[in-house]
Structure 1
Amino acid sequence: MDFRIELVPIAVTDVDRAIAFYGERVGWTVDHDQRVSPDLRFVQVTPPGSACSFCFGVGLEMLPEGSSQFIQVVVDDADAALAHLRERGVECEGVDEQPWGRFVYFADPDGNRWALQQIVRT
C-alpha cells in the first residue's frame, strides 16, 4: 500500500497576500482559488515538480487560528534555490551547510517557515 502526502494546510491571515507571496514572489503554481461563499474560500499552491500541494483560505478550519507551520522541501541544488528566491525578492539567508544537508530558509508573511534541503550524499 502506498501512502502519498498530497495536501498540507498552512494558516494565513490574508489570503490575497499569501497568493501574491507564493504565486508571484516564490513562483509556485496557484492551482485553485475557489470562493464558495463569503465565508468559504479554498486556495491550493504547488511548488514546481512537487507531488504535494499546500492549501490555505477562509473558513477551512484545518489549523487553529494563529498557528504556523515549519515545512521542509527537498531541492536538487541549494545554491540554485537561494538564487531563485533572491531573484524574486524573497528574504532568505545564505546556504546553511550541515553534515546531513545544505539548507535555505525563508518565511511567508504569516510566519510559516520553510527549509529547502539539498540532500548531501557521501
Structure 2
Amino acid sequence: MRAISIISIPVTDQQVAKEFYLKMGFKIMVEAPFQGDSMWIQMTLPDVETSITLVNWFPELKAGSIRGFVINCEDLDADIKQLTDKGIEVGPADKTPWGRFATVNDPDGNAWSLHGK
C-alpha cells in the first residue's frame, strides 16, 4: 500500500456539492452516469493524488457526517481570504501546538480543516 486513492464524501445534492468544491479549488477528474439518478463525480485538488467522490448511494454514510479531513495550505491566511472572496464561509483560524486550523463546511455540513502556518 502506498496512498489513499479516493475518499467518499456523502452529499444530498451532487450538483450543489460539485459547485461548492469547484469554488474551493477542486477540479473534476470524472463526471459520468452511475447508479440510477446518481453520477460518479470524482474531484481532486491540483497536483494531489488523493481524490474525493461525491456520493449519495451509501445509506450508512449520512450527508454532513464527515469530520477530521485536513487540507494542507501553503499560506492559510491567503487561502482563507481567497475562499471568503468566493463567498465560502471559513471559521476563524485557531492556533494549536501543531499548526493553525480553520474549518470550512460544505453545503451538507461536511467539515474540512484547513491547516497551515
Q: Which TM class, normalised by the smaller chain length? A: 0.7 to 0.9
Count of residues paired in the alignment: 116
Q: Which has the larger radius of gyration?
A: 1
Structure-1 residue corresponding to 2:18: 19
Aligned sequence identity (%): 29
1:113 corresponds, among 90, 111, 114, to 111
Give yes or no for contact 1:81–1:104 (8 Å, CA) kept in 2: no
Residues 16, 66 of structure 1: CA spacing in aligned structure 2 closer, same or farther, 3 A cutoff? closer
Give yes or no for contact 1:44–1:53 (8 Å, CA) kept in 2: yes
* Uncovered stretches (5+) of structure 2, i.e. residues with no partner: none
Structure-1 residue corresponding to 2:78: 80
Separation (CA, whole Å) in 1 of partners of 2:44 and 2:104: 16
Separation (CA, whole Å) in 1 of partners of 2:56 and 2:7: 15
- Moved beyond 2 Å, runs of 4+: 36-40, 61-67
Letter paired with 1:87 = D
TM-score normalised by structure 1 residue count: 0.82
Is 1:68 paired with 2:70? no
Give yes or no for contact 2:10–2:56 (8 Å, CA) kept in 1: no
**36-45 or 10-19, which moves further after superposition?**
36-45
Aligned-residue Cα RMSD (Å) equals 2.0
